């Protein structure tokens, strides 16, 4: 039976509800729960549960156990927040503690299309938190100039898909500024460029991309991708503090979906260390950002089915990356899989796999497997077939163990 | 009731009604252009003016008439002295002391002689590359002389005069051109890509127009710093670029953001008629670059770039203007003719007549115009000219000699300053390179580099 058609009034009330934005770029909202729309009989796909995943700190106790946190933070309080709130808290602390910090980008002032800059303009003034004209090359160039004169700008590109107009500014200018200035010591190291990245369920071609590999091919940049609210807060604060320009990619599907206990006080996480999320002896999976949740679910299923023990590593900082932690793990397990959303050719996985091959050749018992997006664009209705899911990671574990 | 009061009443009404959100984010010192005042007001049925938010205070018309740039007069070109060195408005004068004018003249001559010698040195294969400023000495030297030394400057590459005027020494120039151990760019950049922290001039990059949004951002930083330290002389940012670079998206992006953020920046366009081989007729169809300023809501002026007095007065006035009301950008288009080739890699007679160039050289250029003025005031003569030229030539050649004898910078500088600290990956690469250099000593000229292979050891010894 076809549902009764809505009256025009209901429809217009629906369209006019306050959260519906009129900005063309934010017609959809990031909603993690919509993401993995699995088939009805699926056993593997659809098992990613953000409420139960061991990747998030569901209790204050586990959140404070993190040995990377300093003593005083580990004795402090935590609060249950999502990823966009964690970003907001990091920005808030940076603005509060350093008057050189500026926050700007398109639609920043009212809180941002993903709410990351909520209330910052009202609290810190529009001199420091402001809208820019709609021009990525302009706002990134502006940020580089401000950084070169001693400010610490945190510029936002509304979607990583729209960073390309600023590619020249990032690659030719931001990345090379210190090098070409020689011993004059001038640099634009206070610069952070934040951008929401990754698939979101229905982002199609221009709201889904993960262009990190394009930046990891550029000396002079740091590329950081957090996986959780705690990571987002600690890594963003470190990114703002470091004297190198940082590309900070926030997995937008996690903005609301990933909720965990996060220390209330500001803290800093290292920009050159990977994190072993789960120890194991039979196989190493290296990933970062959203796919870590997929990997975690796949590992749970595989360990149950095959009786294996898989180690999961979060790279966190994609460039420069922590080779030592990855190699140590692979030398122990002898098998490795790299998982990321962006496509395989010349992706981050290629670099990780080549490094493992070069530095752990004699310990390898199977070829390094890459589970990545296919060599295509993210067509709207095909996302679930293109991006690595639990089934594909599960199968990769199986194949690598059976090799 | 005047229009103005009517709008104020409309604003007040609108703010009272709950349907319109008051503009809470408007900073108090921001200057709002007249046509944008009362932005949260809706149009009333019998209003005479449009109240669309995108163009407030536009009047309705029932005449369909396109705005046609072709029917408008070209923007005038400001000048102080004519091409015979005669002051046009005697009452206003040239606004420059005699002694200062002499110094400016000497610097222009020095720049032009350095250009001739370095162009020749490149032709002899002693330099890898060079770009002359012929015809544009007045723009760079004149404008730089009208700025405060702490003002921050961003250049394109044809502004060596800015460096000279600010105190870049002949040795500084030569060390950079030779990429030797004394080059503060550590031998990393092509010749003519100068930079100086002391002189507040950012290092030049080859990418065109990328420096224009940098200047907007830097000016914004200076604006905030000016307001934080009101007792210090306020600083501004100045950005130079050619008319070809103004076609890049970065020009548009920069002027727009400079206007919306109201930054204290002077954008100086050197319109010399050519972008390599491309004449301005293939570059744009509007009235030069100046006509674009108004579109961004930016105060704009066109100046005769061969008239150093006009350049100076325009720059001085612009500096005052950009600091008004907390800051606002200014665009100046300096007209000139590129007398020299684009660079040493270019033969401009492939796309323009030699006679055209000769004509410009003879008829009008910034150096002869100032010389005529100086001679008119009996401050200069043929003897002084000859003395200056031979003295300058000797000084340049001496600096050239000194620079040519220096070693190249240490090889470690190939790796430093990419990130603040050497990364683990780089450490591995330095070790590999050192190994290669040791095992194949005859394949590389390491001895020409300061410290030889050992400089790599220093780099590795430094714990990150």
What does the pLDDT read at residue B59?
87
Q: Searching chain A, which residue's CA lies closest to the CA of residue B428?
A: A323
Are A249 and A299 members of one domain?
no
Rg (CA), chain A: 21
Are A174 and A321 members of one domain?
no
Are A284 and A376 members of one domain?
yes
Window 181-210 of B: residues touching A by CB (8 A cutoff) are 183-186, 188-189, 193, 195-197, 202-203, 205, 207, 210
Are β-strands A317-319 and B58-59 bridged in parallel, bridged antiparallel, or unpaired? unpaired
Are A327 and A351 members of one domain?
yes
Q: Does A392 touch chain B (CB under 8 A)?
A: no
Task: Using an 8 Å CB-CB cutoff, list chain A residues near B183.
Answer: 182
Picking from B145, B128, B147, B129, the residue whose alpha carbon sits closest to that of residue B137 is: B145
Are A133 and A247 members of one domain?
yes
List, as one string, the DSSP characters of B108-159.
HHHHHHHHHHHHHHHHTTSSS-----TT-HHHHHHHHHTS-TTSEEE--SS-
Hey, which residues of B are catalytic here?
120, 206, 342-343
* A247 DSSP β-pair partners: A193, A223
Q: Do A141 and B217 touch (CB under 8 A)?
A: yes
Which of B30, B201, B419, B420 best tests the A interface by mutation, with the highest count of A CBs <10 A? B419
Q: Do A141 and B418 touch (CB under 8 A)?
A: no
Are A197 and A327 members of one domain?
no
Task: Using an 8 Å CB-CB cutoff, list chain A residues near B196.
Answer: 184
Are A258 and A293 members of one domain?
no
Alpha helices by DSSP H, A125-176? 136-148, 167-168
CATH number of B74-404: 3.40.50.970
Are A375 and A244 members of one domain?
no
Q: Tell me which of A207, A234, A263 is where a domain ends.
A: A263
Tell me how close the Cα of B389 comes to any Cα of chain A, in angstroms.
32
Tell me how close the Cα of A248 comes to any Cα of chain B, in angstroms.
16
Q: Please state the pTM of the whole predicted model.
A: 0.91
Q: What is the pLDDT along chain A (403 residues), one digit of tens a residue?
A: 444 555 666 666 655 554 444 444 544 444 444 444 678 889 999 867 899 999 999 999 999 999 999 999 999 999 999 999 999 999 999 999 999 999 999 999 999 999 999 999 999 999 999 999 999 999 999 999 999 999 999 999 999 999 999 999 999 999 999 999 999 999 999 999 999 999 999 999 999 999 999 999 999 999 999 999 999 999 999 999 999 999 999 999 999 999 999 999 999 999 999 999 999 999 999 999 999 999 999 999 999 999 999 999 999 999 999 999 999 999 999 999 999 999 999 999 999 999 999 999 999 999 999 999 999 999 999 999 999 999 999 999 999 999 9
In a domain, A33, yes or no: no
Tell me how close the Cα of A217 comes to any Cα of chain B, in angstroms.
13
Picking from B33, B53, B35, B40, the residue whose alpha carbon sits closest to that of residue B11 is: B40
Tell me how close the Cα of A205 comes to any Cα of chain B, in angstroms.
24
Q: Do B188 and A180 touch (CB under 8 A)?
A: yes
Q: Does A324 touch chain B (CB under 8 A)?
A: yes
Q: Do B252 and A135 touch (CB under 8 A)?
A: yes
- Pair B266, B330: CB distance under 8 Å: yes
Tell me how close the Cα of A328 comes to any Cα of chain B, in angstroms.
15
Q: Does A244 touch chain B (CB under 8 A)?
A: yes
Encode pLDDT of A354-363 as tens digits: 999 999 999 9
Q: In what helix (H) or strand (E) does residue A329 lie, and over which residues does it extend?
A: helix A323-333
In a domain, A9, yes or no: no
In a domain, A2, yes or no: no
Encode pLDDT of A24-58 as tens digits: 454 444 444 444 467 888 999 986 789 999 999 99
CA neighbours closer than 13 Å in the CB half-sphere of residue B279? 5
Distance CA B455, CA B463 (A): 15
Tell me how close the Cα of A365 comes to any Cα of chain B, in angstroms.
26
Are A294 and A226 members of one domain?
no
Residue A179 token pair: 């090098």
Q: Tell me which of A233, A263, A293 is where a domain ends.
A: A263
Encode pLDDT of B330-386 as tens digits: 999 999 999 999 999 999 999 999 999 998 888 899 999 999 999 999 999 999 999
Q: Does A189 touch chain B (CB under 8 A)?
A: yes
Which of A120, A122, A126, A141 best tests the B interface by mutation, with the highest count of B CBs <10 A? A141
Encode pLDDT of B395-444 as tens digits: 999 999 999 999 999 999 999 999 999 999 999 999 999 999 999 999 99
Are A139 and A217 members of one domain?
yes
Among candidates A143, A183, A219 on the partner chain, residue whose Cβ is nearest the Cβ of B217: A143
Encode pLDDT of A4-29 as tens digits: 555 666 666 655 554 444 444 544 44
- Pair B26, B10: CB distance under 8 Å: no
State how many domains chain A has: 2
What does the pLDDT read at residue B57?
80
Task: Using an 8 Å CB-CB cutoff, list chain A residues near B217.
Answer: 141-149, 153
- Residue intervals in chain B for CATH 3.40.50.970: 74-404
- Pair B379, B101: CB distance under 8 Å: yes
In a domain, A172, yes or no: yes
Are A226 and A292 members of one domain?
no
Task: Using an 8 Å CB-CB cutoff, list chain A residues near B184.
Answer: 182-184
Q: Searching chain B, which residue's CA lies closest to the CA of residue A189?
A: B420
Q: Does A216 touch chain B (CB under 8 A)?
A: no
What does the pLDDT read at residue A36?
46
Backbone angles phi, psi at A187, to 5 degrees: -155, 170
CATH number reported for the structural domain that contains residue A345 in this entry: 3.40.50.920
Are A330 and A218 members of one domain?
no
Q: Do A180 and B193 touch (CB under 8 A)?
A: yes
Task: Using an 8 Å CB-CB cutoff, list chain A residues near B213.
Answer: 137-138, 140-142, 144-145, 169
Could you tell me which residue, B409 or B21, shows the higher pLDDT?
B409
What does the pLDDT read at residue B34?
65
- Pair A202, A256: CB distance under 8 Å: no
What does the pLDDT read at residue A46?
81
Encode pLDDT of B162-210 as tens digits: 999 999 999 999 999 999 999 999 999 999 999 999 999 999 999 999 9
Domain span including residue A380: 275-402
């Amino acid at each position: 039976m076809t549902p009764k058609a809505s009256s025009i009034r209901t429809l217009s009330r629906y369209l006019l509800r306050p959260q519906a934005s009129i900005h063309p770029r934010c017609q959809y909202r990031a909603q993690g729960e919509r993401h993995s729309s699995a088939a009805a009989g699926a056993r593997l796909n659809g098992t990613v549960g953000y409420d139960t995943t061991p990747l998030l700190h569901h209790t204050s106790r586990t959140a404070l156990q993190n040995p990377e946190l300093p003593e005083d933070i580990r004795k402090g309080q935590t609060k249950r927040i999502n990823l966009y709130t964690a970003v907001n808290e990091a920005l808030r602390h940076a603005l509060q503690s350093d008057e050189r910090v500026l926050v700007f980008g398109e639609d920043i002032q009212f809180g941002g299309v993903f709410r990351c800059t909520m209330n910052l303009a009202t609290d810190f003034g529009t001199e420091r938190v402001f809208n820019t004209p709609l021009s990525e090359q302009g706002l990134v160039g502006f940020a580089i100039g401000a950084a070169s004169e001693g400010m610490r700008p945190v510029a936002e590109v509304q979607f990583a898909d729209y960073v390309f107009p600023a590619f020249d500014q990032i690659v030719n200018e931001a990345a090379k500024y210190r090098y070409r200035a020689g011993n004059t010591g001038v640099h634009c190291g206070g610069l952070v460029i934040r951008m929401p990245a990754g698939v979101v369920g229905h982002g199609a071609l221009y709201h889904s991309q993960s262009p990190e590999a394009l930046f990891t091919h550029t000396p002079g940049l740091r590329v950081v991708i957090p996986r959780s609210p705690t990571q987002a807060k600690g890594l963003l604060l470190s990114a703002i503090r470091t004297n190198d320009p940082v590309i900070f990619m926030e997995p937008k599907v996690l903005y609301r979906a990933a909720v965990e206990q996060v220390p209330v006080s500001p803290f800093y996480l290292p920009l050159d260390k990977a994190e072993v999320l789960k120890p194991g002896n039979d196989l190493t999976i290296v990933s970062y950002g959203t796919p870590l949740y997929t990997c975690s679910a796949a590992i749970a299923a595989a360990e149950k089915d095959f009786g294996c023990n898989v180690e999961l590593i979060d790279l966190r900082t994609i460039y420069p990356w922590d080779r030592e932690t990855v190699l140590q793990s692979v030398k122990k397990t002898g098998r490795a899989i790299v998982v990321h959303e962006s496509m395989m050719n010349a992706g981050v996985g290629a670099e990780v796999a080549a490094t493992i091959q070069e530095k752990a050749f004699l310990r390898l018992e199977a070829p390094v497997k890459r589970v990545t997006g296919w060599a295509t664009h993210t067509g709207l209705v095909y996302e679930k077939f293109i991006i690595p899911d639990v089934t594909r990671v599960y199968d990769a574990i199986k194949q690598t163990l059976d090799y | 009731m005047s229009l103005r009061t009517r709008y104020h009443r409309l604003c007040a009404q609108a703010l009272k009604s709950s349907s319109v959100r008051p503009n809470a984010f408007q900073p108090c010192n921001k200057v709002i252009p007249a046509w944008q005042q009362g932005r949260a007001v809706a149009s009333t049925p019998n209003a005479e003016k449009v109240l669309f938010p995108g163009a407030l205070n536009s009047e309705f018309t029932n005449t369909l008439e396109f705005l046609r740039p072709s029917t408008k007069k070209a923007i005038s070109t400001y000048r102080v002295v004519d091409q015979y060195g005669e002051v046009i408005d005697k009452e206003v004068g040239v606004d420059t002391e005699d002694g200062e004018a002499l110094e400016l003249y000497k610097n222009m001559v020095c720049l032009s002689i350095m250009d001739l010698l370095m162009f020749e040195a490149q032709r002899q294969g002693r330099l890898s590359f060079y770009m002359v400023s012929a015809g544009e000495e007045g723009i760079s030297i004149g404008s730089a002389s009208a700025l405060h030394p702490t003002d921050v400057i961003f250049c394109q590459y044809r502004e060596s005069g800015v460096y000279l005027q600010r105190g870049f020494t002949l040795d500084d120039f030569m060390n950079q051109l030779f990429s030797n151990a004394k080059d503060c760019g550590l031998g990393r950049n092509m010749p003519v890509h100068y930079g100086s922290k002391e002189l507040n001039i950012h290092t030049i990059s080859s990418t065109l127009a990328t420096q224009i949004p940098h200047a907007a951002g830097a000016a914004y930083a200076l604006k905030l710093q000016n307001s934080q330290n009101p007792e210090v002389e306020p600083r501004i940012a100045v950005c130079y670029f050619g008319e070809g670079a103004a076609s890049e998206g970065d020009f548009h992006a920069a002027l727009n953001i400079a206007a919306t953020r109201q930054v204290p920046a002077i954008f100086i366009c050197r319109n010399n008629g050519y972008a390599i081989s491309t004449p301005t007729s293939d570059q744009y169809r509007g009235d030069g670059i100046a006509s674009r300023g108004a579109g961004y809501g930016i105060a704009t002026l066109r100046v005769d770039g061969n008239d150093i007095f006009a350049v100076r007065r325009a720059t001085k006035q612009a500096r005052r203007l950009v600091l008004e009301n907390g800051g606002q950008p200014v665009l100046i288009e300096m007209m000139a003719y590129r007398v020299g080739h684009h660079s040493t890699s270019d033969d401009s007679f492939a796309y323009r007549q030699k006679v055209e160039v000769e004509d410009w050289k003879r008829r009008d250029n910034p150096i002869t115009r100032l010389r005529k003025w100086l001679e008119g005031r009996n401050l200069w003569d043929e003897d002084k000219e000859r003395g200056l030229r031979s003295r300058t030539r000797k000084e340049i050649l001496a600096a050239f000699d000194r620079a040519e004898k220096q070693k190249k910078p240490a090889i470690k500088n190939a790796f430093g300053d990419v990130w603040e600290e050497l990364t683990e990956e780089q450490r591995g690469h330095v070790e590999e390179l050192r190994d290669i250099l040791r095992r194949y000593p005859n394949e590389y000229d390491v001895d020409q580099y300061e410290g030889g292979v050992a400089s790599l050891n220093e780099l590795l010894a430094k714990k990150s």
